[in-house]
Amino acid sequence: MISKRKSWKVDASEESCKTDLPTCPVFSETKKSRISDKENASAFCGLENEGVFEELLRTSGIVLKAGEGQNEIAVDQITFQKKLCLALEKHPTYPAVVKQFISGLESHIKDRNQFKNCLLPCTPVRTESSRNLVHSYCESLIKLLLGIKILQPAVITLLLEKIPEFFFDIVGTFGTNFPRLIVNQFKWLDRLLDSQDLVKKLMQMVSVSPVPIQHDIITSLPEILEDSQQSEVARELRKQLITANELRNIGRVTRMLQMSCLLKQGRRLTVPILDALSRLDLDADLVAEVRQSAMTIVPSVKLEDLPVVVKFILQNVKAADAVEVISDLRKSLDLSSCVLPLQIHSSQKKIKSQVQARAFPVDNGCFDSSLSQVTTSQNCVKLLFDVIKLAVRFQKDVSEAWIKAIENSTSVSDHKVLDLIVLLLIHSTNTRNRKQTEKVLRSKIRLGCMPEQLMQNAFQNHSTVIKDFFPSILALAQAFLHSAHPAVVSFGSCMYKQAFAAFDSYCQQEVVTALVTHVCSGSETELDISLDVLTDLVVLHTSLLMRYATFVKTILDSTQKLNPCQIRKLFYILSTLAFSQKQEGSYIQDDMHMVIRKWLSSTVPNHKQMGIIGAVSMIGSVALKRNEGDAASLERAELNSESDGQLSTLLDLVSFCCEQTPEVLALYYDEFASLIEKQKGKLDLQLLDGFGKSLVEDFPSDFVVDLSPTVHGSFLFPVKSLYNLDEDQSQEAIAINLLPLVSQSELGRVTAGASNQSKRAVSPMCLSPSFRLLRLYTAEQNSGSLEEIDALLGCPLYLTDLEVEGKLESLSKQEREFLCSLLFYALNWFREVVNAFCQQQDAEMKGKVLTRLQNITELQNVLGKCLAATPGYVPPPATFDSEAPEAVPSINAAGPARKRSGRKKKADGSKAGSADRSQADDSSEGNQPDTELSELDKAATDREAGNPLAQLQSYRPYFRELDLEVFTVLHCGLLTKSVLDTEMHTEAREVVQLGPAELCFLLDDLCWKLEHVLPSGSTRRVPFPKERGNKDIGFSHLCQRSPKEVAMCVVDLLKPLCKHMENMHNYFQASVQNQGAEDEPGVTIQEHQLMSSCYQLLLLTFRSLFAWNGFSQHENTDLLRSALQVLADRLKPGETEFLLLEELISESFQYLLNFQQSVPSFHCAYILTQLLIAIAEKPMSGWKKEKLASLAKQFLCQSWVKPSGDREKGSQFNSALHTLLCVYLEHTDNILKAIEEISSVGVPELMNSAKDGCSSTYPTLSRQTFPVFFRVMMAQLESSAKSIPAGKPSDSSEVQLEKLLRWNITVRNFHILINLVKVFDSRPVLNICLKYGRLFVEAFLKLAMPLLDHSFKKHTDDVQSLLKTLQLSTRQLHHMCGHSKIHQDIGLTNHVPLLKKSLEQFVYRVKAMLAFNHCQEAFWVGILKNRDLQGEEILTQGSEERGSDEEDSEDSAEGPAEEEPSGSDTDDSEQRGGAGPGPSAARP
């Protein structure tokens, strides 16, 4: 037995430590003790044979007990120790009596029960005489003996010799852990005679003891050592470390080095060693050394020991090295080891459920052990984060260092689940760090470092930890939904979904409540995202969300805030909940039926719209197909009759409510068509068979007639069949009966109240919606084939003669409006026909689709002429899921509105009014928002293209929406208009090409769609949005697709778009070469304008795609790569497949840069620049900045002339010029040099040119555009001044001189710009000067004056020159203030008080600088008179009395600086010094 235990106790780690340790001397003595124990086992059986030991103890106050009874003490502990010590010292045989006493003690403790009694606390004797003499708690006999000086060494040796006797005892054999009790005797001793010897012996014991005893000894060391000894040992260890660890004698190595050895070699002692070290007062260097040793074992430590290791590492971390320690800990900590047991348990759980489902017997033993392992793993992870939580809460440095460590990580692969959980932990624990935590998390999400997959892993694998942070998760998700960045919004929505899936019912209820609150908040973006989250939840967790259906139903009380698209989402959610589970959803069905009946019966159009949308959503849920194997489908199969009843009830109800109102019926058709398109292949059309038959029968009878040469009836215009593409098929020809239906509809409007209509109304308003529903239903029935209705593609329309040139003036108002309505109906019919047949593969059908596009462009030209002659006309509605626009579209609506606005602001006289009226308004200081400029670009396109006289853009809501599939037509080649004119006479019917007009039409519509659905990176959400109702008009079908789906469609179109743009490039390059030979100027100009519009729209399409902020999301990286690969492949065909993303960006940038030579207009140049910026920002590099600056300068130095010969100008030109100039100055390598070049070269050239001339170097710089140049230069100069670092006392002389040089150049440029006001003294220029002049002076005070304070003595001449130059500028600013007050211009005088305040601060700040450098006597104040812009004195009453002999003191002084001159704040007085409201002149 003993030999087996000996072989067991020595393991590899202990052996490695034993090899360097000397043999412990206690072992030889231990063997003797064991022999004597056997020989004298019965030598001591009671107290009858008293020896010295027993006698002295009894006389001192302790009675020894045998057996289970504890030793008794009759006196106080200190009294006992004094008596015993005195008895020993006065004993006749002293000091031999001490040895006899120890021998008696050794004999006494040979018995284990008696030894235990000596190690356990003594029991006080409760007699009447000693009741108050003895404390209720007494130490053990051994502890009391250790407190006696003359006995301590011998007792310590005796106790250490006893420990090896218990090496192989199993704890609990004798009911007592003897080694632990022995070690406890050494704790908290009042004094140790030789603590070094004790520690040495204990460490020797550790090296040879089993692990449990090692654990007890190590954890007891902090209570054994004295405080002074800890510092001494720490210093000694530091010395040993400095001497390069060349120690050979282990006896002289301190316990700390031995612990470090054990920490590296014995992983089982990790917890006790670190626990002991954490309670010792160590030197900072030693702490760092031990912490580094602990850090190295973090990756390999057991999971249950990990919390202790992390606690030690985080303990006592100093601010200086906190970031480094946390960064190392982040790299070492890996929670993937904790995830593995969870995944194993999850897979076993699935297997178990599958086996049980098959009714086979299962052994649950392995599953129980797996569950136990998972529970242990989860508990350890929770303990780990509890440790981190305590450190974060009570150690400010740890909290901030952890945030900083995460913030410093740049690579996506460096971010772990740990980072997200720690950020949530800090946000939940520390209130003061919440904003910083949220900021870091937002930044990481925007950069793609925190993808949604990482968050999903955190929720799925560590839900028990994250659940404690649920309030923070909810708060962050709510905040993220307010963000303008799509990645942040998406992350917030994903947090909601993961929290709902991972947490308990309380948290699920809170999530649903928060989402419902977002929906009812009124914020459109929050509303859309919240409904999308609820939609995902109802799809993924239908049964769970069913519990909270009551909360979701409350959204019905706030439906007035929802648009039709949002109403669809809401009713889809409610319908899914209502019909997914039969019994649970029955009450929702009843409520929905009740609400829908109420809405359908309402006379309010908005309510009826919502009723139709809700009813169609319910129809879709009832008619969904079910899987045959699904249990729910079996139940539904048994209840087919009930489903048929619900469907027929809903269909009859909606049909009854819609049949008398064409607008409502058209909405019903559109909603049903959208349902079929969305649920393609998922609807059970057998249930809708009756509805489908009536649809197929009603459409031909309502809208289609047989084609005949004459049409009988009296109409406003003669009926004529037009646009027939099937003229060769004379038999069984059909036509759309449009003009008679429009006439009937107009007549019906007049007599609607006179007759009671009893049957369904037939209106041309329902023509396009009914056809859309028919073709989608037919395609669904016939697997996408439209052969049954293909005759409608080429059939003619009953219209009238459309040769309206010169005839419109002779028509009455009713006739003109009738003709406009007829053209709108015809255009919408052609749009729906193109939507229907654009994807057909038959060559003949493709040709007809292209012809219909030509028909659309022709009709638009005619419609434009008619609308121009019909003011105040309101077209018939084409979209029925939104309210009609309140304002009537008009050609000249914008002009009068602006004039009225201007008059109102002028009459108001308020600050805001004056500021808005001036061109120096804040909104035009920086780059114009992309959305505004794009609208301007499109408006310019419409005017320049020679399209209809009326701007059809304002009538866009009255046209049917084109589907995204229509743009597949762009794959057709482009042929210029002139070539089409020469070839279409003979071959156009066989080979139809996409012409410029059709291309322009398609691109214009595509641009509007992309602008609506793909927000750019610079888009910011409006805090208080205006009208929301009209935003989605014309985009109903588009809104049912996600932005990513739309982006994917456009990426698929990039190849034909590139081909078209290359054709445009070739066209304009050829036109430049052949510019002199123009035979037909009119045709060439019109063609040039049309091609220029196509070029501009192509660039807009590219910019809308690549500026989409969704590309910043990590999950869209592959889509971005695909888009860039298309562009790069145009330069290097077949070589781009394996290029890196950065290389693809470079190749795409170079490809687009090649178009710079062919841009036909300044707007095209502006859009191309914006497109290159959008691509270059992914990411921006040095050579791209240089290219962009060079490109912008090239465009600025180019003369932009229209085909008519006029120079480009106007507000849109100025807006684009503003942006291009900003791009040039922001990307150039030397902004100060660029500003000086423009102001010193370009402006003098302009001044010397004719009245309508321009600068020869910068042709875009004219007298009309000078305010734009001046604003940008002033703004960029002020921004450049702010970028100069502030002066510091520690700066070297070279650094000070460099900063002074930069300030000298900056101030010189400022002086040049300010002096330009003497020549260009228009009000906008003055406004710019007053505003940016103040900002420049403030920047100088904040950044330059500290530099002057510390460089004045070393660089006196430079400082003096700088201040003198600036003084000249500030004088001119003062003159502007006087000019503003003389002219009483409110817009200018608004800037005067703040400017004069800054000027006065400048005077006194220079005075303080001189005082700081002990030159205060060089500063004095002079008198400054008010002058105008040209420097002439402004005479006031006071100045006239003083006479003209008084001169302004503007002499130069001997001192180092000449300071800001300024006059009084009033025109009739002058102030001295700093008195008065305005600054005065300062003179050195």
pLDDT of residue 373: 57
pLDDT tens-digit map of 870-881: 888 999 998 887
- pLDDT more than 90, % of the chain: 18
pLDDT for 854 beyond 60: yes
Give Cα 933 to chain centroid, integer Å.
25
* φ and ψ at residue 720, rounded to 5 degrees: -140, 135
Long-range CB contact pairs, 1251-1257, < 8 A, 24+:
1254/1199, 1254/1207, 1257/1197
pLDDT tens-digit map of 111-154: 888 888 898 999 888 666 555 566 777 889 888 998 888 898 99
**Secondary structure class of 522 (helix, strand, coil):** coil
More reliable by pLDDT, 207 or 1020: 207
Lowest-confidence range among 693-697, 1211-1215, 1313-1317?
693-697
pLDDT of residue 1235: 92
1271 contacts: CB under 8 Å, gap ≥ 6: 919, 920, 924, 925, 1218, 1324, 1328, 1332
Cβ proximity of 286 and 234 under 8 Å: yes
Beta partners for residue 1262, in sequence order: 1254
Cα-based distances in Å from 902 to 888, 896, 909, 1383: 22, 10, 11, 20
Stretch 986-1008: mean pLDDT? 76
Q: Enter the tokens of residue 207.
A: 């090296």
Cα-based distances in Å from 1032 to 433, 484, 1028: 40, 19, 8
Mean pLDDT score of the chain: 76
pLDDT of residue 128: 61
pLDDT of residue 369: 52
pLDDT for 1409 beyond 80: yes
Cβ proximity of 797 and 723 under 8 Å: yes
Stretch 1421-1443: mean pLDDT? 62
Round to the nearest angstrom and report the end-to-end CA distance of the chain. Answer: 104
Beta partners for residue 994, in sequence order: 974
Q: What angle do CA 1084, 1087, 1092 make, to 5 degrees?
A: 120
Q: Enter the tokens of residue 518.
A: 């977002």
pLDDT tens-digit map of 1094-1138: 999 999 999 999 998 888 777 788 999 999 999 999 988 888 888
Q: Enter the tokens of residue 1254.
A: 């321009």
* φ and ψ at residue 24, rounded to 5 degrees: -70, 125
pLDDT of residue 1391: 80
The DSSP secondary structure of 1261-1313, one letter per residue, reads -BTTTHHHHHHHHHHHHHHHHHHSPPP-TT--HHHHHHHHHHHHHHHHHHHHH
* Strand stretches in 742-856, DSSP E: 797-799
pLDDT confidence of 233, banded at 50, 70, 90? very low
pLDDT of residue 477: 92
pLDDT confidence of 1080, banded at 50, 70, 90? very low
pLDDT for 1007 beyond 90: yes
Burial of 24 from C-beta contacts in 10 A (0-12 / 13-18 / 19+): buried
pLDDT for 86 beyond 70: yes
pLDDT tens-digit map of 1068-1077: 888 877 765 4
pLDDT of residue 1420: 64
Stretch 204-220: mean pLDDT? 80
More reliable by pLDDT, 173 or 1138: 1138
Beta partners for residue 1421, in sequence order: 1482
Cβ proximity of 1346 and 1285 under 8 Å: no
pLDDT tens-digit map of 1447-1467: 443 333 333 333 433 333 333
Nearest to 1305 by CA among 1344, 1272, 1262, 1258: 1344
Q: How many residues does the chain have?
A: 1484
Beta partners for residue 1254, in sequence order: 1262
Cβ proximity of 143 and 161 under 8 Å: no
Nearest to 1473 by CA among 1411, 1371, 1404: 1404
Cβ proximity of 1007 and 1101 under 8 Å: yes
CA distance 1084 to 1072: 12
pLDDT of residue 510: 93
The residue to which tokens 């130069």 are assigned: 1452
Q: What is the 3-state secondary structure (H, E, C) of 287-307?
A: HHHHHHHHHHCCCCCCCCCHH
CA distance 352 to 347: 9
CA distance 562 to 1028: 10
CA distance 928 to 31: 95
Lowest-confidence range among 197-211, 244-258, 831-845, 1203-1217?
244-258
CA distance 137 to 121: 8
744 contacts: CB under 8 Å, gap ≥ 6: 762
Q: Is the peptide bond before 1015 cis (omega within 30 degrees of 0)?
A: no
CA distance 541 to 553: 17
The DSSP secondary structure of 1176-1191, one letter per residue, reads HTTT--HHHHHHHHHH
- pLDDT more than 70, % of the chain: 74
pLDDT of residue 259: 53
Q: How many CB atoms lie within 10 A of CB 1023?
A: 6
Lowest-confidence range among 9-18, 254-263, 958-967?
9-18
**Secondary structure class of 1062 (helix, strand, coil):** helix
Segment of 685-689, 1025-1029, 1157-1161, 1468-1472 carrying the highest mean pLDDT: 1157-1161
DSSP assignment letter at 968: G
